[in-house]
Amino acid sequence: MKKQSNLSKLMGYAGGHRILTYLSWVLSVMSALLALVPFWYIWRIIHDILEASPDFTQADNITGYGWSAVSFAVISIIIYIAALMCSHLSAFRIASNIRKMLMQHITTLPLGITEKYGSGKLRRIVNSSSAATETYLAHRLPDKAGAIATPIGLLFLLLAFDWRLGLLSLVPVVLGFLIMMKMTGKDMEQRMEQYQNALSDMSNEAVEYVRGIPVVKTFGQTIFSFKRFKNAIDNYEQWVIAYTKALRLPMMFYTTAINGVFAFLIAGGILFTRGGVTNELLLNLIFYIVITPVIGTTLTKIMFMSEDAMIVGDAISRIDEVLNEKPLPESEINNAPSDNSIILEHVSYSYDGEKNALNDVSLQVMPGQVAALAGASGGGKTTLANIITRFFDPQKGRILIGNVDIRRIPKETLMNKVAFVFQNSRLIKASILENVRMAKPDATREEVARALKTAQCLDIVEKLPNGMDTVVGGEGVYLSGGEQQRISIARAILKNAPILILDEATAFADPDNEVRIQQALSALSNGKTVIMIAHRLSSITEADCIYVMQNGEIAESGTHRGLIEKNGIFARMWKDYSEAAQWKILNENKGMEVIA
């Protein structure tokens, strides 16, 4: 099967605007050819001046030729502007359609795709990659059509008056073209891909760095604590320097070649005038000196077009990569779970296809029970929580909710069954009312108000200028991380799903917010099946079962007391946690004594 070209792919997004793209090429070719006509009038002007010399008053047609040259130049510019208007209208529509299609497709993908790509990379694909196609279509393609037409017209002009000088003018063109092909070959395509990868990595790490600023400020860390961000910047720096050095010599030779046409013409002029200078030779030599700079300009345009073609090719491949991501298969039958139990049977999952983030995990949480996940960071706790909410499907094993495989439960039914509160909950730029109502679009104001009250959010609402109608992020209204978390809990309370997933819900809360969040979570969890992740081990002592995760596996399980008596991994974690908490209390007491 023949591979579809990048241009064909872009035209697939154009719809009825496709004709404007083609029209822009035609107009650009017309503009390029008309732009050469003034050079013929310049030749006529030089011709008349040399013929009339030394009595220049006899050169009667100079003024007419001059105005004709200006007229054709103006007409060429007007047609070129028309070409750009057509290309821009088409390019804007194509870029808009690409963004719409990407966003529509992303909304159908599992939420785990965001983790796979990273929010920074996804944003860059949606914005920057589509913008790259816009620049290519709006400017480069019309210019490319003109750049192809210009050498054809130039070739005619160069060979029409004096074929010998014309051929000499083409020597540096051939040299420049060969050097340009060397710079813009397959190696350049690979380098361009590396360049875009480096930018994507920096974008991803920059997003993570900005998100982590509160932690840095809290613990007094420096930028060097973000090694991945610094490494991404260092890698980009090394790549750019190496790339620039690699192109130094080729670019120097290319610039010398295309600007060396005058040397060839002067050498040719000396050679051809050994038998004496004629008006015709002098006329043609002056004319060629005037027109040959157009050659260098045209070649440089072609070089940058080749680079932009590689950029847009890379952009399209990244767009296609996202569009080729498949939504999770949906069940056509509404298989309703019989109860609120959660069962994992030999579940394994890997992000990169090599190391398992989850490895043969089996567990069971009965309706109304509270199960806690504990363990060191990287043990697989968040992956386990994500896979239960079907952010992605396991590669092995299965997950049952109410004795039904979640792959056989329709997405809407599953989302109504499960609510989740994560450690980094985000609010959209909308009112508090609209943020909470996202969980239940048909909820009344009274229902939202009750959810806010249950979630301990009344103090937040009361201090806002317009109460729960205040827009978050607008007119200087911002909420702290703990306050945003409470609003997210209000959203989960309004949803009132029977299964609740809590992932480090108090991770970044200050002491006052932590107390309120714990009260809100207690109200939210009442009577529900709960799976909670917590580093604060004191918050899971009453859990019906604690699963200790290590290297993607369940290393231990049992009640708090049973695990302490077992004197294993959890017992050591509890000891370390208790000692840390006691040290904190002692230091706080010493601080109070000093103040007293």
Give the domain extent around 265: 6-323
- Counting residues of the chain whose pLDDT is more than 70, the rounded percentage is 78
553 phi/psi in degrees, rounded to 5: -125, 160
Check if the beta carbon of residue 349 is closer than 8 Å to that of residue 384. Answer: no
Residues 42 and 169 in one domain: yes
Q: What is the pLDDT of residue 329?
A: 81
- Counting residues of the chain whose pLDDT is more than 90, the rounded percentage is 10
Six token digits for residue 154: 């130039």
Angle CA(566)–CA(570)–CA(576) in degrees, nearest 5?
120
Six token digits for residue 165: 């000088």
* Average pLDDT, rounded, for the chain: 78
Average pLDDT over residues 222-251: 74
Residues 206 and 128 in one domain: yes
Residues 518 and 378 in one domain: yes
**Closest by CA position to 508, among listed 200, 209, 217, 271:** 217
Q: Provide the b/e sequence for 488-516 (b: ≥16 CB within 10 Å).
A: bbbbbbbbebbbbbbbbbbbbbeeebbeb
Burial class (CB in 10 A: 0-12, 13-18, 19+), 530: buried
Task: Say whether pLDDT at 542 is over 50.
Answer: yes
Task: Say whether pLDDT at 303 is over 70.
Answer: no
pLDDT band at 505 (very low <50, low <70, confident <90, very high): low
Q: What is the pLDDT of residue 208?
A: 65
Average pLDDT over residues 477-488: 79
Residue 191 belongs to some domain of the structure: yes
DSSP three-state, residue 536 = coil
Task: Say whether pLDDT at 595 is over 80.
Answer: no
> Which of 92-96, 307-311, 457-461 is least confident?
307-311
Average pLDDT over residues 460-480: 79
**Closest by CA position to 359, among listed 389, 390, 395:** 395
Residues 164 and 56 in one domain: yes
Residue 592 belongs to some domain of the structure: no
- DSSP letter at 467 equals G
Residues 46 and 171 in one domain: yes
Q: Residue 303 CB: number of other CB atoms within 10 A?
A: 21
Residues 315 and 360 in one domain: no
Total residues belonging to the chain: 596
> Each residue of 34-54: pLDDT tens digit?
988 888 888 778 777 777 777
Residue 363 belongs to some domain of the structure: yes
Query: Of 261, 293, 323, which residue constitutes the final position of a domain?
Result: 323
Q: What is the pLDDT of residue 596?
A: 42
Task: Say whether pLDDT at 584 is over 60.
Answer: no
* Higher pLDDT among residues 155 and 19, named by residue: 19
Task: Say whether pLDDT at 577 is over 60.
Answer: yes
Task: Say whether pLDDT at 592 is over 50.
Answer: no
The span from the CA of 101 to the CA of 422, in Å, is 28
Strands (E), 351-434: 356-365, 370-374, 396-401, 404-405, 418-421
Q: Provide the b/e sequence for 20-39 (b: ≥16 CB within 10 Å).
A: bbbbbbebbbbbbbbbbbbb
Counting Cα atoms < 13 Å in the Cβ hemisphere of 7 gives: 10
Check if the beta carbon of residue 319 is closer than 8 Å to that of residue 102. Answer: yes
Residues 139 and 262 in one domain: yes
Residues 433 and 469 in one domain: yes
**Closest by CA position to 120, among listed 193, 226, 199, 224:** 199
Region label for 326, one of left (φ > 0), alpha (ψ between -120 and 50) or beta (otherwise)? beta
Number of domains in the chain: 2
> Which of 180-189, 214-223, 431-440, 499-508 is least confident?
214-223
DSSP three-state, residue 541 = coil
Six token digits for residue 462: 């009361």
Cis peptide before 151 (omega within 30 of 0): no
Residues 386 and 466 in one domain: yes
Largest CA distance in the chain: 117
Residues 206 and 351 in one domain: no
CA 564 to chain centroid: 47
Residue 350 belongs to some domain of the structure: yes
Task: Say whether pLDDT at 219 is over 50.
Answer: no
Residues 82 and 224 in one domain: yes
Task: Say whether pLDDT at 538 is over 90.
Answer: no
The span from the CA of 121 to the CA of 113, in Å, is 11
Residue 451 belongs to some domain of the structure: yes
DSSP class per residue in 474-534:
STT----HHHHHHHHHHHHHHHT-SEEEEESTTTT--HHHHHHHHHHHHHHHTTSEEEEE-
> Each residue of 75-125: pLDDT tens digit?
999 999 999 999 999 989 998 888 998 888 888 888 777 777 776 778 878
CA distances from residue 593 to 268, 583, 584, 588 in whole angstroms, order as listed? 96, 15, 14, 9
Task: Say whether pLDDT at 65 is over 80.
Answer: yes
Task: Say whether pLDDT at 225 is over 70.
Answer: no
Task: Say whether pLDDT at 510 is over 60.
Answer: no
> Each residue of 372-407: pLDDT tens digit?
888 887 788 888 888 888 888 888 999 999 889 888
The span from the CA of 497 to the CA of 489, in Å, is 12
pLDDT band at 345 (very low <50, low <70, confident <90, very high): very high
pLDDT band at 3 (very low <50, low <70, confident <90, very high): low
Average pLDDT over residues 184-201: 67
Query: Of 323, 357, 378, which residue constitutes the final position of a domain?
Result: 323
Task: Say whether pLDDT at 495 is over 80.
Answer: yes
Residue 316 belongs to some domain of the structure: yes
Q: What is the pLDDT of residue 257?
A: 73
Task: Say whether pLDDT at 164 is over 70.
Answer: yes
CATH number, domain containing residue 45: 1.20.1560.10
Task: Say whether pLDDT at 458 is over 60.
Answer: yes
Residue 314 belongs to some domain of the structure: yes
| Cα dihedral value 94, 99, 101, 103, nearest 10 | -170
- DSSP letter at 468 equals G
Q: Residue 380 CB: number of other CB atoms within 10 A?
A: 22
Residue 459 belongs to some domain of the structure: yes
Residues 457 and 487 in one domain: yes
Q: What is the pLDDT of residue 127?
A: 83
Counting Cα atoms < 13 Å in the Cβ hemisphere of 526 gives: 9
Average pLDDT over residues 483-496: 85
Q: What is the pLDDT of residue 110?
A: 80
* Higher pLDDT among residues 444 and 221, named by residue: 444
Q: What is the pLDDT of residue 594?
A: 43
pLDDT band at 585 (very low <50, low <70, confident <90, very high): very low
Counting Cα atoms < 13 Å in the Cβ hemisphere of 361 gives: 36
CATH number, domain containing residue 367: 3.40.50.300
